[in-house]
Amino acid sequence: MKISSQVLLNFLLNSFWQIALVAVLASVASWLLRNSAARYRHWIWVTALLLSFGIPLTTAWQSQNLKASILPALNVEETIPPVSAAEFEGTELAATKIAPEAFLLSQPLALALLTIYFLVVCYSVARLVQAWIATRRLKLSAIEISEDSRLTAILEQCSSALIGSEESAQLRVSAQVPVPVTIGMFAPVIILPQQLIAEDNRELLTSAIGHELIHVHRRDYALNLIYELLYLPLSFHPFAALIRRRIRQTRELSCDEVVAERILTPEAYARSLIKLASSAPPLQRLSVSTTVGIADADILEARIMSLLKKTKSDTRRKRILLIAVSLLLLIPCFAAASFAMKFDLKPTDTVSQGQEKEQQERARTERKRVDVLMEMDQKEAEEMKNRIASDPALREKMETRRALEFKLSAIRQAALVKLARISMDQAIQIATSQKPGKVLECSLDAEHWKEPGVLADDSYVFYRVLLVASDEVESGAITHLWVNATDGSIIKVEKELPRRREPQQ
């Protein structure tokens, strides 16, 4: 549950600035392509929607993987070179390096943000489901047009001009739609308003059927459903709504260009478009919809101006501009993924005031006990020092013992360094991935020595890592992890609790 909350928090909070960046870059790219075909601008905004969903998701997943990453299970003898003594001496300094910490959020704040986010997403899901149900009802209630030679001829004419094959769509009529719409992925249906058929205007019917056939040919109905599903987790963001609206607008502009190029003259189609698009209620144009139609966009004036505008085509210049615009959009977006911020939850503070006072009192008692033991050790050390100073034989014996212990320690340490196949840094990374926290100590050791510098057959080399876990800072518990120095596996984990205050007699 905690991991999923962290992933959602990183997705949500990073998306605030990443989606805004994508929308700004897409706006600049669309402006640079303002004199190009609308289909290029349409795919710019489609790419922007994909990036708006993909970049925050990728950064959220990467931030979690970085936290939970461990040493991969590889053949360490082939991939990791033996550690030299010089490298081993510097591992203590390397172990003190700490990765950049995340921005910590209090749990009430994180819960509030996630609650608001889920409410917005649930509302968007409910609207989409409601639109889907209304679409299914509309399709079932529409009446099939089977015997109308006039509409059949227009459909065949438009199909031949646009697609160049016998591929077509079924025509239906309904009194519930004010403008033509297209429904269906595998068996597309074009639903015409009953009033449009009653007008008996061939130019108007040709414009409507031709426009909807382009939607069928481009698979706009299926793509629109995909865009709506991608928009759901982004529905809280105003720039995501802007991207979604631009996709609808450029989609209609693209269809208009094809109709004006292959079926009707731009002037004739513009006259028909004014009559058709103006029939749609203003609020319906921006509502959630699982249909595609001629009135999806709320830019009628821009569509008319685009139809009547005459531009000269320069293929080489447009090709260079397309490459430049693509790089302008993609490179900063991919760079944004590597500069994502990391967010995490603060540890839960479950310690009451009474427990906190008890812990403070326990800590003071423990410090006093340690001070007494240190005083006793100092007295014993002074006595031993005086004995050594007054007894030459004892002094020589102690010096010989220290020299022997130092020599044996050097032999054991050299053998350990030679046998270890992973570095101390890697052992610390493995330990903190198993139990995140602050490392207090890390040492290299082994068990079951056969003789100085030679291990027994059943012995193994390990790193012993002492750390304070992130979720156990208040309790003062210390976790001991034994990491196998050969293959990086965790041998065992033990927890050391702080000593309790002894009851007074």
- Cα 96 to Cα 100, 107, 392, 413, 440: the distances in Å are 13, 29, 43, 21, 9
Residues in Cβ contact with 408 at an 8 Å cutoff, skipping those fewer than 6 apart: 452
Q: What is the pLDDT of residue 505?
A: 45
State if pTM tops 0.85: no
Q: Which pair of structure tokens corresponds to residue 209? A: 């059927």
Map tokens 């220290």 to a residue: 402
Q: What is the pLDDT of residue 169?
A: 83
Amino acid symbol at 64: Q
Amino acid symbol at 61: W
CA dihedral angle for residue 455, residue 459, residue 463, residue 467, rounded to 10 degrees: -140
Q: What is the pLDDT of residue 3?
A: 66
The Cα 273–Cα 299 span in angstroms is 11
Whose CA is closest to 135, among 297, 294, 299, 293?
Answer: 293
The three-state secondary structure class of 261 is helix
The Cα 212–Cα 325 span in angstroms is 30
Tens place of pLDDT per residue across the chain (505 aa): 566 777 888 888 888 999 999 999 999 999 988 888 888 999 999 999 999 999 988 888 876 655 544 434 433 333 334 434 344 344 333 333 333 456 777 888 888 988 999 999 999 999 999 999 988 898 888 888 877 788 888 888 888 887 655 557 888 998 888 888 899 888 889 998 888 888 778 888 888 888 888 998 888 999 999 999 999 999 999 999 999 999 999 999 999 888 888 888 888 888 888 888 766 665 444 456 677 777 777 788 888 888 887 665 556 777 788 888 888 888 888 787 777 777 776 655 444 455 566 767 777 777 777 777 777 777 777 777 777 777 787 777 878 887 877 777 788 788 888 888 888 888 888 888 888 888 888 888 887 777 777 877 777 888 989 888 877 766 777 888 889 888 888 888 887 777 655 544 4
Residues in Cβ contact with 183 at an 8 Å cutoff, skipping those fewer than 6 apart: 135, 138, 139, 189, 191, 221, 290, 291
The Cα 352–Cα 330 span in angstroms is 51
Given a contact cutoff of 8 angstroms between Cβ atoms, the answer to whether 459 and 424 are in contact is no
The Cα 191–Cα 202 span in angstroms is 17
Q: What is the pLDDT of residue 244?
A: 93
Helices (H) and strands (E) in the chain, counts: 18, 13
The Cα 6–Cα 433 span in angstroms is 16
Residue burial 480-494, b: 16+ Cβ < 10 Å; e: rest: ebbbbbeebebeeee
User: Sign of torsion, CA 364 366 368 370?
Assistant: negative
**Other Cβ atoms within 10 Å of 72 Cβ, number:** 8
Whose CA is closest to 146, among 168, 177, 171?
Answer: 171
Q: Which pair of structure tokens corresponds to residue 18? A: 């990443």
The Cα 410–Cα 189 span in angstroms is 85
- Which structural domains are found in the chain, ordered by start? 70-100+418-505 (3.10.450.40), 116-311 (no CATH)
The Cα 48–Cα 51 span in angstroms is 5
